[in-house]
Chain A
Amino acid sequence: MAGMSGRMSTVIKAKISKLLDKAEDPGETLDYSYTRQLESLQQVKKGIADVVTAKKRLGMQAQKLEQSVVKLDTQARQALAQGNEELARMALERKQLAQTELQSLDQQVAELQSQQDKLTESEKRLRTKIEAFRTKKEVIKAQYSAAEAQVRISEAATGVGEEMADVGLAMQRAVDKTEDMKARASAVEELEAAGTFEDLTQLGSGQDDIDRELAQLGTGGMVDDELAKMKAELGSGSAPAPAELESGEGTKP
């Protein structure tokens, strides 16, 4: 190992060795260490399943949010057509928020997809390696004396162990990220539930928590722009009465 001065990898290598020391009992029999490897492989499979589940959940939420965006847009138009600019603004603010969340959800789904691909690839590699270990273990058992077999097999077990630790590291990070996303996803669900107006008339002048939060988020500028655009589409400056709308833009909804 001459010239091995690369510190980044040296630190990682040292830490992985420490992990292996913890995991590997030197007294373990050959068959037992094989069983342990299979268990680790199961862990990796479980990690992949977690990532897939999280990805599905985020995908479903993205769908719901898309529906919310459409609904809020319609509600803003309705409110504006009825001359309730304040309500239209609230709907647009929520729409803005939903769109921002949607963008970040799409990004997260893509991120999880790449994690999943990587883990699936690792799982395949690990599986092949463990199978090779199984074969090698039988050969060693048949050909060598107990003492020599112990040495050779612990070398092989370390080789597989390192691969396992490497894959385990990738898996742990993927699972950690998934946890973060789960927490975020719950928050989005709440937003989604509270984010659309079930009844336009109910929220006429009320100021709830979400409204205050919205105001703090500073999406005002974009909302103003969209509101102005919507007004122009409806063919009215401040939309005072539905009658004027009809004379201006005919039967446009």
Chain B
Amino acid sequence: MGEGQYRLSKDVLERVNELDNTVVKAVEADDEDGFHASFEEMLEAIRSEGEHLGDEEIETSDIIVPPSDTSFAEAAAEFTGEGLIPD
């Protein structure tokens, strides 16, 4: 999400996964409000529950979260077309 890396505990990771699925469902259901709500909640969970890694720590990421200003249209395109990152 362009905000550095966070280390998540198992519990938080599960919650993020659930929220991530909710986000995807909202996108598939064409529910823009739902998308923004769940996406915000997911980012907030990562920011508040995750442990922010120092900039000098080098770790590979297990998951990569899209930037916080991702629009509904971009998210929708991510699953159908090129989206944020070209295929």
- Residues of chain A lying within 8 A (CB to CB) of residue B62: 1, 4, 13
Bound form: Cα–Cα A166–B67 in Å: 8
Contact B4 A156 (CB under 8 A): no
Closest Cβ neighbor of A128 among chain B residues: B55
Cβ–Cβ < 8 Å partners of A6 in chain B: 16-17, 19-21, 63
Interface string of B55-70 (1 = CB under 8 A from A): 1111111111111000
- Which 4 pairs show the lowest CB-CB distances between chains A and B? A6-B20, A128-B55, A170-B2, A9-B63
20 contacts between A and B (CB under 8 A): A6-B19, A6-B63, A8-B27, A8-B65, A8-B75, A9-B65, A10-B63, A12-B64, A13-B63, A15-B84, A16-B64, A16-B85, A19-B85, A124-B55, A125-B4, A128-B56, A129-B55, A129-B58, A160-B58, A169-B85
A155 touches B63 (CB 8 A): no
- Are A162 and B60 neighbours in the complex by a CB distance under 8 Å? yes
Return the chain B residue nearest A13 by Cβ: B64
Residue of A12, A19, A122 most packed against chain B (CB within 10 A): A12
What residue of chain B has the Cβ atom nearest to residue A16's Cβ?
Answer: B64
Please report the C-alpha to C-alpha distance between residue A48 and residue B87 in the assembled complex, in whole angstroms.
Answer: 25
Indicate if the CB atoms of B17 and A169 lie closer than 8 Å: no
How many residues of B are counted as interface, with CB atoms below 8 angstroms from the partner's CB atoms? 34
- A contacts with B: majority SS: helix
Count of A-B residue pairs with CB < 8 Å: 97
**CA A169 – CA B67 in complex, angstroms?**
8
13 additional A-B residue pairs with CB within 8 Å, beyond A132-B56, A156-B58, A162-B60 = A7-B21, A7-B24, A8-B75, A16-B85, A118-B2, A125-B4, A129-B58, A132-B55, A136-B58, A159-B58, A160-B58, A162-B61, A163-B4
Indicate if the CB atoms of A169 and B21 lie closer than 8 Å.
Answer: no
Name B's interface SS.
loop
* Residue of A11, A125, A156 ringed by the most chain B CB atoms within 10 A: A11
Complex Cα distance, B61 from A1, in Å, reads 10
Interface residues on chain A, number (Cβ under 8 Å): 38
Do residues B60 and A159 form an inter-chain contact, with CB atoms below 8 A? Answer: yes
Q: Which of A105-137 contact B (CB under 8 A)?
A: 118, 122, 124-125, 128-129, 131-133, 136
Task: Report Cα–Cα, A3/B79, bound state, in Å.
Answer: 20
Instruction: Check B56 against A8 for contact (C-beta < 8 Å).
Output: no
Could you say which residues of chain A place their CB within 8 Å of the CB of B67? 169-170, 173
Residue of A12, A156, A158, A159 near B65 (CB, 8 A) is: A12
Query: Which residue on A lies nearest to B85, using beta carbons?
Result: A15
